Each structure stands twice: as structure tokens, then as C-alpha cells.
A = this chain, B = another copy of it.
Amino acid sequence: MELEESGIGEECGLFGCVSAGEWPTHLEVAQVLTLGLVALQHRGQESAGFVTSNGSSPVTYTSHKGMGLVSSAFPPDALLKLRHGNLGICHTRYSTTGISELQNCQPFVVDTLHGKIAVAHNGELVNSKALRKKVMRHGVGLSTGSDSELITQLLALTPPMEELDTPDWVARIKNLMSETPTSYSLLIMFKDVIYAVRDPYGNRPLCIGRLVPISKLHSTGAEEEDTEGWVVSSESCSFQSIGAKYYREVLPGEIVQISKHGVQSLCIVPRPEGDLPAFCIFEYVYFARPDSIFEGQMVYTVRQRCGRQLAIEAPTDADVVSTVPESATPAALGYAQQSGLPYTEVLCKNRYVGRTFIQPNTRLRQLGVAKKFGVLTDNFAGKRVVLIDDSIVRGNTISPIIKLLREAGATQVHIRVASPPIRFPCYMGINIPTKEELIANKPEFKDIAGYIGADSVEYLTVEGLISAVQEGTASFQDKICSGKMVGHCTACLTGKYPVELEW
């Protein structure tokens, strides 16, 4: 909740689908894309874009982009328009800047000497400035400020400018990866193929699923021949809603080719020696949907472990444990389990309130975020409450909640935060307030409890967070990554960026 209020946000969700078998198949790719993207809606609510390809010769691409949620960006006629696709990629976006226009919607499609390619991107290139200059020095005009267009033009201009029937896109993708280390997960569609790419540090997530007949969805022995298609998604939570089985993650640095013939790993571009992977730890803490799986473990479980760890690091003498709904609930339940304190609900959220146009006047503005919550007085009146939040970013939204609880009868309100303080900006695709706005960098942080009106405030340690995350990745390392070490990007907490910023 806190994060949401403070404007921290993921930038994008990626989703792709390829129908298997001889085309046209009976799989309605446009429907799968839509439902898949809806399941990633939490990763971006600003705009949505789809591109489908018939995958045949002559190749035709169809695209549609719209502002807002998938549901409003894709009215029925848009879906109709896209329905002849045999494969397609789509994208939902949250802009980091104020400029929110249709033009910036992804996927970005351009016509090249070899035909059209479509590119969808999640992440932020650490060296985009230099790359833009390079591209423009080559004489290319860039029509947007988006990394997606930049990547597309980089792919287009990569020498040698061979005029073959089948250009060597893989070589071009490798070349792109040699020019920018992070952060990107990419879906690149060309004719009848989707290339799924993750940067060498694996900073942004990407995973693969297999569409099977609904009747065989949960049978363990589903044979390969049952495959109806392949999907690729920022998060595995989207598989449930389309009837796909989790297949595997795209690995850091990997280029995977997905076509009607199946999934093929083309190569793994290595990191500089000694560098660990750097998967964004905030995907676990906040961004991802709790039922998604990263590195072999469910996000919900990691959050619950964070709550347990927090209970160990910061125990409280209190009567009840509760949550700021809804994102902190797994941590709160973990805290309750570890501490033995009873779990209860103290707030209920009015999910409609956020959508009014109303600009409250002074009187109502004083109510602050409290307008969003109903207070479940009976559950805590006369009691000492430990309230678990997932993060405190600017500190100005937890404050009215604490006031609300006190006024409704809580005798004490202790805040326990299931992640460490955010102190540094992110240059890899996450929208974080400026350093100055972060409560952890303000003088008031010294007496944060006093500042927000709590009886006490404690945060999870960085070490605690890392151990809670990495406790569950062991088997993933062994089985999937063949013993390679797991690492995570904690830059916003520690200032240690996975690569030098002026790459």
C-alpha cells in the first residue's frame, strides 16, 4: 500500500504467445494474450499494446495500442482485429515520466530491410544516453524517448547490413547485448519466431509456460505432443488464467527462440567474470504477484519468510499483529506465526475510492489516506497493535493510518517494515521518488517513530531480506543453474549497483 501511494512502480509487463502445430490452429492467440496481459496488469496500468503475426508468408502484422487498463485499451473490436494471429507479443506499461502518450506504447514495430520486427521491453538501459547518441550519430532520428525504440533501431542498424533473406537476428541480439549489460527482458518477434531475451544479470524476470488442453492442465504426465502453444511472461502468475503449465525461467543472459516448433535455447551470453546475477530483489518484496514463481520459489512464501525474519529481528511486546492491506498480508501472517501473537485485521480497504475525480477541499484533504480505509475497531480497541507494512518510502501515508488506529482505541501502534529502508535511486526500470523525498534520507529518519507517530518502528535488515530470499533458491541453483551462484540486486537499499552506472 505504502509503495503504491508513494509512486514506486514497476514499469512493464511482457507477455507473448506462439500457437504450436501447423497453422492456423484452433488456439485463439489474441485471447490468450489478453488474459495473459490482464494477469500482469499490476506491473503497469497506463497503456497496453499488442502485435500479432500470422507467421505465414506473406507475413502480416496486426497491432493495437490503447491507453489505460487492458480492459479499456482493448475493446472488443480491437480483439477481433487481432484474432488471426498465430503468434504475438504484448506489453503493459507504467511510465516513469509524466509523458504518457499512445506514441510511447510498446511493442515498437519497425520495418527493416528484412521485414518488420516488433520489440517489447521491460527494464531500463543503464547506458541509454550513450546508445541514443550513437544511434543518432549514425543518422537515425528517434521518434520517442523509449528504450524500446532505441533497442529496435540498434537491432536494425547492427552491421553487417547483410541483404539475406533470413537476417541473422541472433547475431544482432548478441551484438546488442554486448553494447548494454542491463536491465532488460525482451520479446522480439520476427515473422514466425519470438526471441525471449534476458540480460546477463537477469535483472528483470521472464519465464516460459506451456499451453496444454485444459483437461490435462494438472495431469503430471502431460506428453509433449499435447502442447497447444507456448507462452512467455514477466511472471508465472499469468499462466493460471490461461491454462498454461510453468515450464522454466529464461536464464540470465539467455536467448530463447520460441516458434511453433517449440522452445530452443540459442545461447547464454555470460556476465563479466566474477559478477553475480542481479535479479531485482524488490520483485520479491513488492512488485510481483504473490503467486508468481521466481528462481524456484513462490513470492508469497518469500514474503512470509520476510515476516518471520522480521519477528526474529524485531520482536514486539504487543497483543495483535496486523497488516496494511493488501500487499503486506503474507509478511504479517509470517510475523504472527513466528511471534505467536494472534493475527487480526484492523483495516478494510475501499477499493473504489481511488478512482474518483474529486479534488478534495481542505477539509477533506486533512483526512488523507484514511479516506481509503475502514477501521475494524472491535478487533483492536484497547489493544497494542503491531502493524506490518511492506515498505515505508516517504513516510507520509503510514502516519494518518497510525492516527486512525489510535483514535479508534489502539493503546499502542508499533510499525514493523518487512524490507529495509530505501535509500538510493534505481536506474534499472523502477520508478522511485528522488533521494531527497525518501524518508530514509531525511533528518527526520533519526526519530522515525516520532515523525510518523508510532510507538516504535523497525525495519528488516538487508541481511535478513537476502537470507529470506535466498533460503529458497538452493534447489534452483543446483538443478536449473548447475551450481552457479545466485545473486540479487539490492541497489536501492545498499547503493551497490550491479554494473558501473556510466557504462
Contact = CB atoms under 8 A, between A and B. Distances in A.
Interface of A: 26-28, 31-32, 34-35, 38-39, 41-42, 69-71, 74-76, 79, 102-103, 108-113, 117, 132-133, 136-143, 145, 149, 152-153, 155-159, 161, 163, 213-215, 217-218, 228, 237, 240-243, 289-292, 297-298, 300-301, 329-330, 333, 337, 342-345, 348, 350-353, 355-361, 363-364, 366-367, 370-379, 407-408
- How many copies of this chain? 4
Nearest 10 A-B pairs (CB), nearest first?
A: A139-B157, A110-B141, A291-B374, A218-B407, A141-B156, A71-B355, A214-B366, A41-B352, A241-B371, A113-B136
A363 B31 CA distance: 10
B139 A163 contact: no
Given A301-B378, A352-B70, A356-B71, A364 B103 contact: no
Contacts of A363: 26-28, 213-214, 228, 243
A373 B241 CA distance: 8
B243 A35 contact: no
A378 B348 contact: no
A76 to B, nearest CB: 5
A143 B109 contact: yes
A28 B280 CA distance: 46
A144 to B, nearest CB: 8
Contacts of A133: 113
A217 B366 CA distance: 11
Contact of A142 (B31, B111, B355): B111
Given A31-B364, A35-B353, A218-B408, 11 more contacts: A31-B358, A79-B357, A109-B143, A110-B142, A111-B132, A111-B141, A112-B142, A136-B156, A300-B348, A333-B343, A337-B342
A366 B240 contact: no
B298 A376 contact: yes
Contacts of A243: 363-364, 366-367
A145 B109 CA distance: 11
Given A161-B137, A243-B367, A298 B111 contact: no
Nearest to A330: B345
A136 B108 contact: no
Nearest to A112: B141
7 contacts: A32-B364, A34-B356, A139-B140, A213-B363, A237-B374, A240-B370, A300-B378
Given A333-B344, A333-B345, A159 B139 contact: yes
A147 to B, nearest CB: 13
B364 A345 contact: no
A213 B140 CA distance: 42
Given A75-B357, A291-B348, A291-B374, A367 B241 contact: yes
A373 B291 CA distance: 9
Contacts of A241: 350, 353, 367, 370-372
A372 B156 CA distance: 40
Contacts of A71: 352, 355-357
Most chain B Cβ neighbours within 10 Å, of A109, A117, A214, A289: A214
A360 B300 CA distance: 29
Contacts of A214: 363-364, 366-367
A158 B141 contact: no
Contacts of A145: 111
A484 to B, nearest CB: 24
A464 to B, nearest CB: 20
B143 A110 contact: yes
Contacts of A329: 345
Nearest to A26: B363
Contacts of A109: 143
A344 B228 CA distance: 35
A350 B290 CA distance: 11
B137 A156 contact: no
Contacts of A217: 407
A108 to B, nearest CB: 7
B375 A240 contact: yes
Nearest to A407: B218
A215 B367 CA distance: 9
Given A329-B345, A345-B330, A371 B140 contact: no
Nearest to A70: B356
